[in-house]
A and B are shown apart, each in its own frame.
Chain A
């Protein structure tokens, strides 16, 4: 089963910052970035970024170098990112709100990191790490004598533009690299398909470390539109909603859970600002459609909700679905739609053969977005990048580990992980299916299900329940679950827990849950 995205020709050298430079030349006085009451035009931003690029090149950090950026959202951050790209180097975002120990751990994971741009406060946090620190003040004070002209580099679409951290199956953060061609293709698809362009305004609401934030940061500058940045380290619903209203924002890119908070805000306090946006592009975690459906169907809501799917290893977004087409069924998962331009989705079985129509298989991605792989990585996860032959020609392919199928309408539906499947008494079970069933029971606020092996070597399921009120008793939950699930899918044990431990990316930390089972 293959879903084929539209074929759209890219320029011979699809390099992202060249699009920004073209806007700087064509509309120099248009506002590029608005932050903390100050605005910067395309011409000013381009000149500042060029100076930083010449600074990097003069120090030998040109094509192929890796430059860390550890700054809060600000014009300086955008200067550092664009300057790095213009020098031919790749940037690596570091969230300055992370604790010092985690920042140092992450810094050590990037092989050949040339230097890191940091504010004075962050510089203190990471000073013991073996990496050169460039103070953010250098972006303004010390570069005055350097040229403001666009640097000439030999960068091609195959060069790395950024690299972000992913948690990976081993729990150790890995840094995965994205190529210019893939990022150009993604941004070009968004620009053409959703007519983003000059006069449009975007607000960044996600944390800097995420792949979606790289897209949200660059999309307006790729289109000649205006970028708005919040002076906040953490998502702030009150501030975001106020900025949506006062700044005439048209687009927001966010995680599903951030969309819920914005919807809650508008629903509780009244208002039509969110409902009148052009687009919210969201995804990154399974959608709880009940959190947004009442708001989405309200009269006068003209916001197009694009439910998207992808992985950082393949440049962030691979598919998109207009949620207006969705009619929720009872045990249904909202689709994630069709592939981006120049992108193919394959559904394959364990032996890399295509599954039949409607059948579940592993979601695999080929096309322009397939990234350059993990930096310095030869671990087991590197094997997820492989090669397949399509129409007689070899193509790179990435196996996501996600489990999906194509529905009757021809849209991709993603449900759970391949590697999360366990065999219990011979039955193949996906714990996320059990979690969904538990989540629908009255009295259950959240649920996580993990597998463990008994001394006899048999797998059994254990459910962790976050009760909505009083603790839940096993003999209350089990019969209710048996009404919707076959016996093989009903967990052996049920444990109450005040809240689920979360990974640094805000997802349920399964390893921590498995740890809790030791000695039980």
Chain B
């Protein structure tokens, strides 16, 4: 399940225990440094380079996971 792995990455990089799938990245305190770390984690852990423009357009775990799934990332 991509969304679970994305949520794990967000929790780690935002240093939050619990994030709902429809929480907004920026409302959670996200900014450019954290965004770059998450982008790096997507590459290392899901083998997918997510453009930052897409991260702005999809600011929740749910929507970015849908985007990543459409790119055919590793699911396990």
Contact = CB atoms under 8 A, between A and B. Distances in A.
Contacts of B11: none
B71 interface: no
Contacts of A233: 53, 56
Given A232-B52, A233-B53, A238 B32 contact: no
B51 A236 contact: yes
Nearest to A468: B15
Interface size for chain A: under 10, 10 to 19, 20 to 34, or 35 or more residues? 10 to 19
B56 A234 contact: yes
Contact of A234 (B15, B29, B37, B52): B52
Interface string A207-247: 00000000000000000000000001111111100100000
Interface in A468-520: 469, 498-499
A189 interface: no
Contacts of B31: 499
Interface stretch (A259-267, A353-361, A399-407): A259-267
B62 to A, nearest CB: 20
Contacts of B23: none
Given A261-B36, A265-B40, A232 B53 contact: yes
Interface of A is mostly: helix
Contacts, number: 45
A268 interface: yes
Nearest to B28: A498
A266 to B, nearest CB: 11
Nearest to A506: B32
Contacts of B53: 232-234, 236
B39 interface: yes
A232 B29 CA distance: 23
A260 B31 CA distance: 13
Interface in B18-73: 29, 31-33, 36-37, 39-40, 43, 49-53, 56
B40 A235 contact: no
A237 B43 CA distance: 12
Contacts of B40: 237-238, 265, 268-269
B32 A235 contact: yes
A257 B34 CA distance: 13
Contact of A237 (B15, B29, B39, B56): B39
Contacts of B36: 237, 261, 264-265
A437 B14 CA distance: 25
A169 B31 CA distance: 25
A261 B32 contact: yes
A232 B51 contact: yes
Contacts of B15: 469
Interface in A172-210: none
A237 B42 CA distance: 13
Nearest to A498: B29
B33 A261 contact: yes
Q: Which of B15, B31, B36, B39 is packed against the most chain A CB atoms within 10 Å? A: B36
Interface string A9-53: 000000000000000000000000000000000000000000000
Contacts of B32: 235, 257, 261
Contacts of B56: 233-234
Interface of B: 15, 29, 31-33, 36-37, 39-40, 43, 49-53, 56
Given A235-B32, A237-B39, 7 more contacts: A236-B39, A236-B52, A237-B40, A238-B49, A238-B51, A239-B49, A499-B29
26 contacts: A232-B51, A232-B53, A233-B53, A233-B56, A234-B53, A235-B52, A236-B39, A236-B52, A237-B36, A237-B40, A238-B40, A238-B43, A238-B49, A238-B50, A238-B52, A239-B51, A242-B49, A257-B32, A261-B32, A264-B33, A264-B36, A268-B40, A269-B40, A469-B15, A499-B29, A499-B31
